[in-house]
Structure 1
Amino acid sequence: MAVNWKKRSNLQSFLTHTTPMVPAYPLPKTCLRDLNWQLILRGKMEYFSLGDLWDQYREWSVYGVGVPIILDNCQRIVQYYVPYLSAIQIYTNKSLAPHRIFLEESERESSSDDSESEKLSRSSDAVSEDSILDQDSSWSTREILGQLYLQYIEYGSPYGRIPLMDKVNELAQNYPGLTSFKSVDISPASWMSVAWYPIYQIPNCRHVKDLSACFLTYHTISASFQDNNVPEDMMDSFHITESNARKQKRWGNCISLFPFGLATYKLQGGLWRNPETSDDEMINSLYSAAYSWLKQLGVDHHDFDFFTTH
């Protein structure tokens, strides 16, 4: 099926090709009585495994993911991006055994001038239970968040980071649930952010400055939000990528973790936006969602601050 490029943008192409799709499994009837109330209200009777989620990034972490792009002269190229784990918080449901709260930070040289003690203090403040909800909320913080199992926030320079899959394997040595949990095991407050940096394009077009754009995507990793909505004007292009078609043929039913938030860096000129689409509205909406999410959780996300101020 051919893509109607006139109504598609390079930004949409990026989001389409970097959104992970994972196989969905039906919940056994024996598990329904233990299903958390958020899933029951939303009619969720499926789940995915975090192991399957990380598998989507395995090849991308080695070779990069190709994003088809149309230049201003109508030349078509493929730009490759490598994913890096920028931040992640996993909160477990109350049904799981409680875990000690661990604060994980990058062991690499920090690009910040803050002292190590200041960073740990800031990370500790970031997960304060009192920061998630307003005082007049009728829901308790513990009921919403669950128990914090893992927090990781990257502070290192992009040039010193290891690809996402390598970082996940590294963290999983101390936090095995990172690869073994199911989406129904973790609370709706669980999320991750992926930083995407360009590495090369085919054919080579180094003279095009707009191709240096970097992206920061935010994804929920709880079953409560497994139906992340794809914008209406992206539906066709989202489902017809060769990668998505292969996954749907292989698994039959799958879940797309379309980003709920987005921040950009060096997104200049008109290369990435198509005025015939809702790109500008979508960028503003996704950025606002990311900002609100971090504010509600009280998280000081280093990459988000950098993308916002540069």
Structure 2
Amino acid sequence: MIFDSGSKQSNLDCFLHCTTPVVKSQFLPKNEIRNLNRLWHPGGREKVEYFTLGDLWNCYDEWSAYGAGVPIVLNNGETLVQYYVPYLSAIQIFTSHSSVHSLREETESGDGEIRDSLSDSYSDESECDKLCRWDGSSSEDGGSEQDCLWHVNERLGYLYFQYFERSTPYGRVPLMDKINGLSQRFPGLMSLRSVDLSPASWMAVAWYPIYHIPMGRTIKDLSTCFLTYHTLSSSFQDDIDSAGRKRKEGEDIALPPFGLATYKMQGNVWVSGNYGRDQDRLGSLLSVADSWLKQLRVQHHDFNYFMGIRRG
């Protein structure tokens, strides 16, 4: 097992790097660029890059089978590799009305019911007002709830699919297996492109430790579980690659987490790096995740559990 002794990456850096999906980039045909939702993709661009959700899930295929290996340096200088298995914790996919319509036709024979607008979830005026405030619009000028929901749908898109895992970790299947099962009823989970998705589309991945190499003793610091939050829309695609350098046009697209939560964090293995700045970084990532969920009025079961929030 070889570690780069000259590397300045902290253990937290290594975890984030080793669990960040890097997806194959594709270019949108020029004749399709003009059809993009201008609220989500401002005009004037000659080239638009995107990735498919199917390619994104492929990044998790090997991790789902064998775990993602994260090199870790312990406080005593020992080095090891901790393996984490990814599980789909939550996902919401918002898309345009036309995309939802075509996908509904493919899946309407399933047992589940697809909600094609936010009005199903936000039926009372108070919730609508909150979303309008988040969206930047306002109903204080005398606009009706219907007008408000129109603004919400225009900005956020229409809810094509959502899933929130509630079973115990031992009752879950790895992310790739879960996606393969869900896509049987919702084929858009494989075929949709990042340019089809609104900026409100996101997912959370739960990472649970399974074993470390070399084995031999129990290390409490390595029982930590993580929740990583990722946006799915091209609106948030970064021009920075997974190594922190400027990404060149056409190179693979990294989707680093914008938010993070932890559970069973003991000791200081994850917060001792970067001269103590990792502690602040964890706090900042947690705050962003919490803010995101509140803005979307979402109750995320795993997040609440990680935070010690027990809801009856």
Residue in structure 2 matching 1:63, options 59, 63, 66: 66
Q: What percentage of residue pairs aligned between the two structures are identical? A: 53
Q: Which runs of 5+ in 1 are unaligned?
A: 103-122, 240-247
Instruction: Establish whether residue 50 from structure 1 lines up as the match of residue 59 from structure 2.
Output: no
Aligned to 1:110: none
1:289–1:135 CA distance, 2 compared to 1 (3 A): closer
Aligned to 2:307: 308
Render the CA deviation track for 1:112-165: whole Å, top value 9, x for unaligned: xxxxxxxxxxx9469965543328932721122111010100010001100000
Aligned to 1:83: 86
Q: Is the 8 A contact 1:42 1:224 kept in 2?
A: no
Correspondences of 1:234-273 after superposition (within 5 Å): 235=244, 253-273=251-271
Distance in structure 2 (CA, Å) of the matches to 1:20 and 1:146: 25
Distance in structure 1 (CA, Å) of the matches to 2:21 and 2:214: 25
Residue in structure 1 matching 2:227, options 216, 237, 244: 216
1:265–1:135 CA distance, 2 compared to 1 (3 A): closer
Aligned to 1:244: none
Aligned to 1:169: 180
Q: Is the 8 A contact 2:94 2:198 kept in 1?
A: yes
Aligned to 2:41: 39
Deviation at 1:252, TM superposition (A): 5.9
Correspondences of 1:1-310 after superposition (within 5 Å): 2=4, 4-5=6-7, 7-37=8-38, 38-40=40-42, 45-98=48-101, 124=121, 131-134=130-133, 137-138=136-137, 140-227=151-238, 235=244, 253-273=251-271, 274-276=273-275, 278-309=277-308
1:81–1:10 CA distance, 2 compared to 1 (3 A): same
Higher relative contact order (CA 8 A, sep 6+): 1
Letter in 2 for 1:69: I
Q: TM-score, normalised by structure 1?
A: 0.80
Deviation at 1:4, TM superposition (A): 3.6
Distance in structure 2 (CA, Å) of the matches to 1:2 and 1:133: 50
Q: TM-score, normalised by structure 2?
A: 0.80
Aligned to 2:111: none
Q: Is the 8 A contact 1:125 1:298 kept in 2?
A: no
Distance in structure 2 (CA, Å) of the matches to 1:172 and 1:214: 26
Farther-moved stretch of structure 1 (129-138 vs 295-304): 129-138
SS in 1 for 2:132: coil
1:180–1:225 CA distance, 2 compared to 1 (3 A): same
Distance in structure 2 (CA, Å) of the matches to 1:136 and 1:56: 32
Render the CA deviation track for 1:201-256: whole Å, top value 9, x for unaligned: 0001532100000000000001111118679xx727x99xxxxxxxx9xx961110
Q: Is the 8 A contact 1:131 1:297 kept in 2?
A: no
In our comparison, the structure showing a higher alpha carbon Rg is 2
SS in 1 for 2:211: strand
Deviation at 1:64, TM superposition (A): 0.5
1:136–1:186 CA distance, 2 compared to 1 (3 A): closer
Count of matched residue pairs: 275
Render the CA deviation track for 1:94-116: whole Å, top value 9, x for unaligned: 3424366x9xxxxxxxxxxxxxx
Distance in structure 2 (CA, Å) of the matches to 1:190 and 1:55: 19
